[in-house]
Structure 1
Amino acid sequence: MNITIDVATASDYLRNHGPAPIVHYDLKPSNVLLDDDMTAHVGDFRLARFLVQSDSTSSLLTGSTVGLRGSIGYIPPEYGMGGQASIEGDAYRYGILVLEMFTGISPTDERFRNGLNLHKHVEMAFSDRVTKIIDHRLFLVNDGGENANAEVIDDCLGSVI
């Protein structure tokens, strides 16, 4: 949970606390780095762009928006339909990252075919079967056994998802 909060805090900083909002474009687990204290840091800004907003429009500063930017499985669906790049796209990527962290399933898993994706997989399980899709490795304690509070943790993670 702390890792998701750290990434959300970094995303908030990029969006709201600089001279201009920054679109990261490639928020995914391999671009989240953990330090010795298990504090998460967002890295790999090769695709990142400043979002310059005027009174009526938003545009990206430097770089072309032609083509899809980011990693398969994390690209917002509207980008594939010609949608304008936006900070909301990073919010979508963050949501997929959180679902992947809590389910242990990659958005590019081979089970996702014929219109099924990680988001729909979780949505179909919500709310009566959400505990079935949560990665139960999250509940393991140091001796490898199940945490005695697994039911409480299931309820909490169900709320997060």
Structure 2
Amino acid sequence: MKGNHFEGVIPTSFKQLRGLQILDVSRNNLSGQIPRFLAELPFLQNLNLSFNMFDGEVPDKGVFRNVSGFSIVGNNKLCGGIKALQLPACPTKVLKEKKLTFTPRVIALVATLSGVLLLVCLLAILYQTRRSRQQASSTLAFQNQFLQLSYRELFQATNGFSAANLIGKGGYGSVYKGFLNCSEQIVAVKVLNLHEDGANKSFVAECEALKNIRHRNLVKIITSCSTIDFRGNDFKALVFDFMENGSLESWLHSSLLEQKEPKKLNFVQRLNIAIDVASLWIIFTIIVK
């Protein structure tokens, strides 16, 4: 079929010619891409497509794997194929973006989602604003609720933190008995030993816990003090309502050598104390975390 001035593309009906062995369509005006079904014809051994106007990628399977089995001379717009052809690489195919068609249903869905998103944003802003106001008001109420005491006032209330006023000592500090002139109140002042590791963290944890909880087995906190002493050193203290009758330790471990009439607690009282201490420990752990 060579030299017959054929035009257009090779018809797809050729793929039905499963027994085709030789095809010569050279020297025509055929155009378009070389059909890939030619590479799938099992018995095709000789294919001549020379001097046409084919363009695009040359297949690399079937008859196109053997450079002596086909000819594409005179088709200057071809690319790709096996390396022996030394044709330029085909350009990367870029998929054309499909134009979006906005149906009334799509428009309604987009508008609804946009409205819901806007509503959620507004609710989040209102919630954050209300929460900020509540936090500010609670902070102001906290500041107004507790006394504002200076280092000088605590120093005077405890006679200079004298040993005579010392009523207890713990891992992170010492507790002194004091008398506040401003409120004519007897208090217990817990002075943190900031040289101990974890004292600052303990102070912050106690402040956070005691300002948020009230319990019948907890000594009422009056205020806290975080400032510097007369020497310019950091000073932190917690001021509690003073309770008579000594500490829990003195009741649990009373000694005849310390007092004439030893304090006595029966088994039920001791059990209740253990339960209350465990409950308070759980509360403190939850709040601090």
TM-score interval for Structure 1 and Structure 2 normalised by the shorter chain: under 0.3
Q: Give the alignment's TM-score, normalised by structure 1.
A: 0.23
- Give the TM-score normalised by structure 2: 0.15
Higher radius of gyration, 1 or 2: 2
